[in-house]
Amino acid sequence: MATGNINVTAENIFPIIKKFLYSDHEIFLRELISNATDATLKLKHLSTLGEIKGDIGSPIIEIKVDKDKKEIRIIDQGIGMTGEEVEKYINQVAFSGAEEFVEKYKDKVEDSGIIGHFGLGFYSSFMVASKVEIFTKSFADDAKAVRWECDGSPKYTLEETDKTERGTEIVLHIDDDSLEFLEESRITQLLNKYNKFMPIPIKFGTKEKTLPLPEGAAEDAKPEKITVDNIVNNPTPAWTKNPTDLKDEDYKEFYRELYPMQFEDPLFNIHLNVDYPFNLTGILYFPKISKNVDPTKDRIQLYQNQVFVTDNVEGIVPDFLQMLRGVIDSPDIPLNVSRSYLQADGAVKKISSYITRKVADKLVSLFKNDRKAFEEKWDDIKIIIEYGMLSEEKFFEKSDKFALYPTVNKEYFIFDELIEKIKPAQTDKDDKVVILYASDEKTQHSYIDAAKEKGYEVLLLDSPIVSHLIQKLESSKENIHFARVDADHIDNLINKNEDKISKLSDEEKETLKPIIENAIPKETYTVQLEAMDSNANPFIITQPEFMRRMKEMQATGGGGFMGMGNFPEMYNLVVNTNNELIGEILNTKTEKKQERLIKQAFDLARLSQNLLKGEELTNFIKRSFQMIK
């Protein structure tokens, strides 16, 4: 038997491990299973190279829990270690990064997984164990099995043992403050969280399996039940396979495996696979986005060589894609450093750009291959795409090939198609193409109707970030302007310099304007007298496009002007001087009747904009009934 001190400059690394990583102490199982997986994969590799004689069988990893003895065992049938290798890899190499670890992380710990980063994975055992034993036998024919023991101090013992099977067994004697890990349900939870897709089968106990009845079995025959190993993981998840070997149903099944509580199928998926200039595989899914979606649930999961690391992929996946679901697996992402380091890391930036490009390419492909199906999905995916157009310049550049602009008539155009369609009719006197849009089909119906009568197309843009998006489009495209359909009278929105003759003289207008101003709240409404079609409404309420857009942009964050969100609502009251009612108001002899007509017409205009509420709406209804008696 040999004894000795672990070669580490810190007097005692174990309390430091516990102190700094206590909040993440559950990662011990992930680290130990990762080591067992590495040992097994090395064995398979050597067997493939012909360096191991005979059949290695089908090695698995097994987890055993003995609650009475307060023990957890992690057993593998991998490459194993000799006494010299234990001395090297456990006592020396594992602590090669200890001093750096202590120095760098003595004040803060920002990520789980720091231990693995510094080669200290095995020593995460001491976060939950008061004593750890290793029983190991190398694959080499003449190797003797050894037992290593350490109680969490720098002292250890190493001696020969009678283990006969190849591989390594680690025995954790669980601390009294970590007894939760002796519960079967807790271990199952950790295995599902971290090791669900490890590349080597993991056994945890047994389960009953019901065999199918043989053909011709009697009607009252009962199926036979047998006890089988409870394999808790899927060693070959969909993202590790070639996309050509997978069907749509395979992708959907994997989605359900990732998110068992999701009952709706995803809209479509994107299979990622690149090996230069970095390694990355994965599958991203576009889910159906509902108004009550919880962005903290069912997030994209990040793996490293099939080991779960985190579902916080901020900095790795572009912000606009964080509402997607799925898996990203890359050994090239530095997992154990701060978020600010991640954001500055060159490899991470390349990965983020690659994901953006792949998503854009997939959207182009989906649009080209089945436009009708893409149009049907548009309402479910538009918020992600519009956010991407705003936040990622390269994505915006590609969006012309798939971003849709739907009309109130349920027609869908990409940008170039839209301009080609509306340019002949909707070009104003300054040679700008005016793109009319509505944000609410019902409340803006009368304005939409007026535009349609002119033969104009009206888009339906109702997402919460539309003000930001149209600002971006106006600054990026030439000779276009967006105007909400209720921002002014339709003739003013697309001003073609067509002078209309007013039925009222200039003197009559000067007489009429103060009469109307005295009957309406001047602090909110600005009166404009304009000659319009005689069949257009007498009063039309509009809100200046610029002011409304700035307020909306500030309300949804970013853009706008400071304080614009608190600015009082301001509207224009456009008075159609060619409408018969306006002539009647001017020529009415009694002030009382004049005021009643103005208020009735004004309230009707407000009603069309959903601006009439509370007491004012009640008074309007009463007045209306009195007028039709």
**pLDDT tens digits, residue range 48-80?**
888 888 889 999 999 999 999 999 999 999 999
Cα 98 from Cα 7, distance rounded (Å): 10
Helices and strands (H, E) in the chain, number of each type: 20, 22
> Does domain 506-544+567-628 fall into CATH 1.20.120.790?
yes
Band the pLDDT of 294: cuts 50, 70, 90.
low
CA 555 vs. chain centroid, Å, equals 22
Q: What dihedral do alpha carbons 248, 253, 259, 260 form, nearest 10°?
A: 150
Question: Which pLDDT value is given to residue 484?
Answer: 92
Binding residues for ATP: 31, 35, 76, 81, 96-97, 168, 339
Q: Would you state the pLDDT for residue 2?
A: 67
Q: Check if CATH label 3.30.230.80 holds for domain 238-352.
A: yes
CATH of 371-493, one of 3.40.980.10, 3.40.190.10, 3.40.50.11260, 3.30.300.160: 3.40.50.11260
Residue 525 has φ and ψ, to the nearest 5°, of -120, 135
Q: 405: closest CA among 479, 482, 318, 478? A: 482
* Distant-in-sequence contacts of 351-355, Cβ < 8 A, 24+ apart: 351/278, 351/280, 351/316, 352/315, 352/316, 352/317, 352/318, 353/394, 354/272, 354/274, 354/278, 354/280, 355/272, 355/284, 355/317, 355/318, 355/321, 355/328
Residue 18: the pLDDT is 58
Half-sphere exposure for 245 (CA within 13 Å, toward CB): 7
pLDDT at 119 over 50: no
For 306, the token pair is: 């099939």
Please spell the DSSP secondary structure of 191-213, one letter per residue: HHHHSTT-SS-EEEEEEEEEPPP
Q: Stretch 473-500: mean pLDDT, rounded?
A: 87
Domain boundaries, the chain: 11-206, 238-352, 371-493, 506-544+567-628
> How does strand 129-137 pair with strand 167-174?
antiparallel
pLDDT tens digits for 532-581? 888 888 998 887 777 777 777 766 665 544 444 455 678 889 999 999 99
Determine which helix (DSSP H) or strand (DSSP E) holds 580, and give its type and residue range.
helix 580-587
Mean pLDDT of the chain: 84
Close Cβ partners of 33 (under 8 Å, ≥ 6 residues apart): 61, 63, 74, 194, 195, 198, 202, 307
- H-helix or E-strand containing 413? strand 412-413
Give all strands (DSSP E) within 175-305, no chain letters.
202-210, 225-231, 268-274, 280-286, 301-304
Percentage of the chain surpassing pLDDT 90?
A: 45
| Residue type, position 184, single letter | E
Better pLDDT: 15 or 321 = 321
Phi, psi dihedral angles at 223 (to 5 degrees): -65, 145
Inter-axis angle of helices 13-21 and 98-105, to 10 degrees? 40
Is the pTM for the entire model greater than 0.85?
Answer: no
Sheet bearing 225-231, strands edge to edge: 2-5, 155-160, 146-150, 129-137, 167-174, 71-76, 61-66, 202-210, 225-231
Q: Is residue 212 within 8 Å of 224, Cβ to Cβ?
A: no
Q: How far is CA 256 from the centre of its chain?
A: 17
Q: Cα–Cα distance between 91 and 85 in angstroms, integer?
A: 9
Closest CA to 113 of 175, 224, 20: 20
Residue list for the binding site = 31, 35, 76, 81, 96-97, 168, 339
Average pLDDT over residues 264-289: 89
Q: Does domain 11-206 have CATH number 3.30.565.10?
A: yes
Matching residue, tokens 């995916």: 381
8 Å CB contact between 27 and 18: no
Distance of alpha carbon 237 from alpha carbon 141, whole angstroms:
34
**Which two three-digit tokens encode residue 535?**
């069949």
pLDDT value for 188:
95
